[in-house]
Amino acid sequence: MLECLLYNTSSKPLSLTLSDKVCLFRPMLNMNCMSKSAERACLPGSGNDVSSRNGMEDSVHSFKAADLVIELSQTHKAKPDLTNLVFGTVFSDHMLTIEWTSNGGWQKPHIKPFGNLSLHPACSAMHYAVQLFEGMKAYRDADDKVRLFRPMLNMNRMANSAERACLPAFDRAELVECIRRLVQVDLEWVPKSDSASLYIRPTFLGTEPSLGVKKPSRALLYVILSPVGSYFSTGAKPVSLWADSKYIRAWRGGTGDCKMGGNYGASIYAQYEAADYGCQQVLWLYGDDHQITEVGTMNMFLFWNNENGEEELATPPLDGIILPGITRQSILELTRKWGEFKVCERYLTMADLRCALKEGRVKEMFGSGTACVVSPVGRILYQGENLHIPCQDDFPQLASRLMKELTDIQYGRTQSDWSVLV
């Protein structure tokens, strides 16, 4: 409602009235309340509660999993040893590709042998970063069944990113079904291990073959699969962070709440500067008051006794500059269900943190994301000073508990409707 009200009092010409289309202009802002019903409705043809600038009702005009054309690979690559595998370097035997044109709409989805893409050299994904991606995983449980974790949340976020990137809408449940079929084809690539998984990378590119900066008339949605080992294979070590306002990850009026490529490429330079300072990742700050926003490519959580002496788990609110992480949302929902301490989406500044550290009020700080689930923070270099964050036994209590509860659901050890069988 806030978005609608803001809209109504904005600088729109008076000749325009507030319509449903206007209300849904940035549907991301409504995602928290939408996501539960959308997640439950994880069935093909039901995922049409995000309207788009194109006015396309995705359930009507989308590709359909029932139309899948499957061409199996004649060769099979050897499965890698996951022990020392670098993330995202090995891919499975097949990929999913779905083409779209403004004239012909969505074409039939294809599952075919993994291989290079043939792209026009003027392709808008390569000149103007008309591109977005998602990150999710398939897990093999103790009964040898393969599971996805809250896949509709990825689809919702992907649909929102697509709208922001001026890429066409699609039926999110149909895409989940296509991904499920792809994973079935490459089922042997899902590691038989409760610490490894098959990383799933949906990618969506504008493939307009001309140089004008405009909405693409062609697009390519594809999905590739990469087996990944344990994030903490060499033992969990708390990460060190470089906190400096020299580089800003995202800003209001930008694309920080969407999983668009431009957010990531622009961050690499800062990542290497962090390394120059002996830190592993960047703690992204925002504004003159140095608000804490994200950690590397993860959301950020602080577990502390807040200014009022309340025990609180805090993370920045989804105000447009924060990526709405699936793990972030799951942590908020889990801990709210526990009801053991205050759980709050709120602003946190470096001054708040420094003061709390001085007064011994900080319990834990950690990043959250699909790759690691949770990743404790041990040290922050800020204004020339090393701030040490409490980290009992390298993996503090709340982070450990969240890691266990979430992976128990992901690997099917705990029954939950967050886990969807492939």
Q: Which of 30, 48, 154, 263 lies at the binding interface for its own copies (CB under 8 A)?
A: 263
Q: Which of 42, 50, 56, 95 lies at the binding interface for its own copies (CB under 8 A)?
A: 95
Instruction: Closer to its own copies by CB, 269 or 338: give it.
Output: 269
Q: How far apart are CA 41 and CA 245, in angstroms?
A: 42
Q: Which of 127, 181, 336, 413 lies at the binding interface for its own copies (CB under 8 A)?
A: 127
Q: How far apart are CA 21 and CA 362, in angstroms?
A: 44
Site string for its own copies, 138-167 (x = CB under 8 A): -------------------------xxxx-
Q: How far apart are CA 90 and CA 80, in angstroms?
A: 8
| Shortest spacing between CB 404 and its own copies, in angstroms | 26
**Residue position matching structure tokens 């690691």:** 372
Binding flag, residue 354, its own copies (CB under 8 A) = no
- Could you tell me which residues are beta bridge partners of residue 369? 373
**Residue position matching structure tokens 């969807």:** 420
Nearest 5°: CA angle at 31, between 224 and 134?
A: 10
Binding flag, residue 350, its own copies (CB under 8 A) = no
Q: Which of 88, 101, 194, 401 lies at the binding interface for its own copies (CB under 8 A)?
A: 88
Instruction: Closer to its own copies by CB, 215 or 237: give it.
Output: 215
Nearest Cα to Cα of residue 246 among 282, 197, 295: 282
A 10 A CB-CB count for 69 gives 11
The answer to whether the CB of 192 falls within 8 A of the CB of 79 is no
Binding flag, residue 244, its own copies (CB under 8 A) = yes
The per-residue DSSP string of 235-263 comes to ----EEEEEETTS-S--TTSSTTS-BHHH
Contacts to its own copies from residues 35-64, by CB under 8 A: 53
Q: Which of 4, 266, 344, 357 lies at the binding interface for its own copies (CB under 8 A)?
A: 266
Token code pair at residue 335:
């801990």
Binding flag, residue 271, its own copies (CB under 8 A) = yes
Binding flag, residue 122, its own copies (CB under 8 A) = yes
Token code pair at residue 329:
């949302």
| Shortest spacing between CB 252 and its own copies, in angstroms | 7
Contacts to its own copies from residues 357-376, by CB under 8 A: none
Binding segment for its own copies among 10-18, 31-39, 41-49, 59-67 (CB under 8 A)? 10-18
| Shortest spacing between CB 143 and its own copies, in angstroms | 29
Q: Which of 189, 382, 395, 411 lies at the binding interface for its own copies (CB under 8 A)?
A: 382
Token code pair at residue 321:
């500059």
Residue 175 is inside which H or E element, if any?
Answer: helix 172-185
A 10 A CB-CB count for 182 gives 25
Contacts to its own copies from residues 170-229, by CB under 8 A: 199, 201, 203, 205-206, 210-215, 222, 224, 226
Binding flag, residue 18, its own copies (CB under 8 A) = no
Q: Which of 252, 346, 358, 388 lies at the binding interface for its own copies (CB under 8 A)?
A: 252
The answer to whether the CB of 389 falls within 8 A of the CB of 377 is yes
| Shortest spacing between CB 312 and its own copies, in angstroms | 28
Contacts to its own copies from residues 281-340, by CB under 8 A: 297
Instruction: Closer to its own copies by CB, 125 or 422: give it.
Output: 125
Q: How far apart are CA 369 and CA 223, in angstroms?
A: 19
Q: How far apart are CA 13 and CA 292, in angstroms?
A: 36
| Shortest spacing between CB 341 and its own copies, in angstroms | 32
Q: How far apart are CA 52 and CA 42, in angstroms?
A: 20
